[in-house]
Every structure is written in structure tokens, then in C-alpha cells.
Amino acid sequence: MTEDTKFHHGDATDAAPIVEMKNIEKHFGNIIALAGVSFDVKPGECHCLLGDNGAGKSTFIKTMSGVHKPTKGEIYFEGKPLHFDTPRDAMEAGIATVFQDLAMIPLMSVTRNFFMGREPTKGKGLLKRFDVEQANEVCMEEMRKMGINLRGPDQAVGTLSGGERQTVAIARAVYFGAKILILDEPTSALGVRQTSNVLATIDRVRSQGVGVVFISHNVRHALAVGDRFTVLNRGKTLGTAKRGDITPEELQDLMAGGQEMAELEGSLGGTV
Ligand SMILES: Nc1ncnc2c1ncn2[C@@H]1O[C@H](COP(=O)(O)OP(=O)(O)OP(=O)(O)O)[C@@H](O)[C@H]1O
Ligand SMILES: [Mg+2]
């Protein structure tokens, strides 16, 4: 089985986008981080955002998740123009971001990390308290669905592998109603096995109809799960390619900025 066929790919490409970003510009003083980028995400697809260091990937997804306001350009959410004033606005609309540092507390249990203050409660008024049993049950079940069998709900997050922690963060976002899941370089610090687990998690989430934005430096990881690919280069995009319409070599070339890559290959004798 090759990486190309391992995952089934969304055929949701004709569906209306959940989120649509049009001609987004972002300036920081004199620095133009984004110079008119358009990008959309449809339900049940994995749209990869690729690009070299400093290309503008993080700036772009921060604009999508309400951290930055665009200098210019429009954001449409489910067809309507929308302004996110804060990350909370974006979260409430259903845009969840899993950052690399994951915002987890290693010494606390997986369940506590899963709910993070959103624990189910039982009882009313002064008797209202966390429903620990219910929380444990939900957490174990949601993790099982993602292919992770916890030793128990009390297992500390610090004892999980990097890939499993990514999966906790992803499961948590989906459980709390994410329609769009943004993953900023979820595989960059992982080994081969952990990477394939995270890619399998992305595949599961996608098949539940969630739109995934997958940011990566790594063309192979992107090709393993991506339905569409957008390459950013110095704040600009050359457009979006569908899976099958672009070869790994073309994608790699676009990422490295074509010309520079050719030069590098020349100087290294074609080993890159
Ligand atoms: N808050 C900021 N103030 C000033 N310049 C910024 C700010 N954030 C980003 N930039 C600049 O915008 C450009 C794009 O940065 P960004 O972090 O979006 O790149 P990236 O594609 O995520 O890179 P990497 O792969 O290294 O994470 C860079 O030149 C960066 O220095
Ligand atoms: Mg970045």
C-alpha cells in the first residue's frame, strides 16, 4: 500500500466552503506578510497549506482563527461575511486550532486535559459539581474512537507520546464541535510511526465531515492525506491544486520557489 492510496480522500470538492478567505493581506508595519491570499475549506476535505519558513503560513492561519485582523480582504463563514474580533469568536463559529505546543498540562490526566474547564456537571445550584465518571467515560471513548486505548482516564498526558498528545488535542477540538480544524505543523516533531498515527487521525476527522487545514513543510506528509494543496511563497500563492493534478516533484518545486530549488540541485549534483 503506498501513501497515495492508504487514506480515502474526500470527494466533497463540489460542496460549498465552510470558510472562504478572499485576497487576504496582512501588513506588519513595512513588512507585507500576506500579499493577497485566497483559500477555502470545504466540509470533509483536508486542504494543505505548504510553504517554506517565513512564507506566511502561521500569519495566514492566525488570520483565519481570529488572532490577527486582516489588513485587507474578506472572510466568509458558511457563505456570510464575518469578522472575528478575537480567537474566541472564531472558536465559537467552529474554527479550532491545534498549535504545536498544544496547551496541555503534562502532569494532569488525559481527562482533565480533554475537558480543560468544560467538564460535564451533575446536580444543581450549590450541589453542582464535576461529573467525574461521565468525564472519564467520554474521554476514554473519544480517545478509543481515535485509535488510542488509554491505560485509564487518570493517565497523565506527560506519559503519552507526541503523536498521542496531538491526537488528544484533535479529539478534544472535534468533540467540542469544530467544523474547521487547523493543524499547524502537527507532524514536524514526530517520528515515522507517530506521524502515520497523526495522519490516520486526520483521516478519521475528515471522514466525520470536519474540514481540515493541514500546515506542513513536508510534501510527503501533505500528499499522504491532502485533497487540495496551496503553496505559499513570500506571502503569495500561485493557486490551489487538487490531488492528482500535481506531482510530488511539482509541489516540492513550488514550495522551494522553483528557481532556487533548481540552483540548489545544480550545486549539490541533483541529490536534493
Ligand atoms: N507579529 C509580527 N510582526 C512582524 N512581522 C511578523 C509578525 N508575524 C510574522 N511576521 C513576518 O511575516 C512573515 C511570515 O511569517 P510566518 O510566521 O507567517 O511564516 P511561516 O510560513 O509560518 O514560517 P515557519 O514555517 O517558519 O513557521 C515573516 O517575514 C515574519 O517575520
Ligand atoms: Mg509558522
How many whole angstroms separate alpha carbon 84 and alpha carbon 66? 5
Residue type, 257: G
pTM of the predicted protein model: 0.84
Asked if residue 193 is part of any domain, the answer here is: yes
So what's the pLDDT on residue 45? 96
So what's the pLDDT on residue 266? 63
Higher per-residue confidence, 179 vs 105: 179
Q: Is the pLDDT of residue 36 over 50?
A: yes
135-170 pLDDT tens trace: 899 988 988 888 888 888 888 888 888 888 888 888
Q: For ligand 1, atom 24, which residue shows the shortest CA distance?
A: 53
So what's the pLDDT on residue 270? 52
Q: For ligand 1, atom 31, which residue shows the shortest CA distance?
A: 54
Q: Is the pLDDT of residue 183 over 70?
A: yes
- pLDDT category, 260, cuts 50, 70, 90? low
Domains contained in the chain, number:
1
Asked if residue 54 is part of any domain, the answer here is: yes
Q: The CATH number of the domain where 28 resides is what? A: 3.40.50.300
Higher per-residue confidence, 69 vs 131: 69
Q: For ligand 1, atom 11, which residue shows the shortest CA distance?
A: 33
Q: What is the extent of the structural domain holding 56?
A: 3-105+178-268
Asked if residue 198 is part of any domain, the answer here is: yes
Average pLDDT over residues 241-266: 76
Q: Which residues is 34 bridged to in the sheet?
A: 26
Q: Is the pLDDT of residue 231 over 80?
A: yes
Higher per-residue confidence, 31 vs 5: 31
Whole-number Å distance, alpha carbon 84 to ligand 1 midpoint, is 20
Asked if residue 166 is part of any domain, the answer here is: no
Asked if residue 96 is part of any domain, the answer here is: yes
Q: Say what percent of the chain tops pLDDT 70.
A: 88
Asked if residue 163 is part of any domain, the answer here is: no
Q: Does 33 contact ligand 1 (Cβ within 6 A)?
A: yes
In the predicted model, what is the mean pLDDT of the chain? 85
So what's the pLDDT on residue 2? 47
Asked if residue 100 is part of any domain, the answer here is: yes
Atom index in ligand 1 nearest the CA of residue 56 equals 18
Question: 248-255 and 259-268 helices cross at what angle (nearest 10)?
Answer: 100
Q: Does 59 contact ligand 1 (Cβ within 6 A)?
A: yes
So what's the pLDDT on residue 18? 95
Asked if residue 135 is part of any domain, the answer here is: no
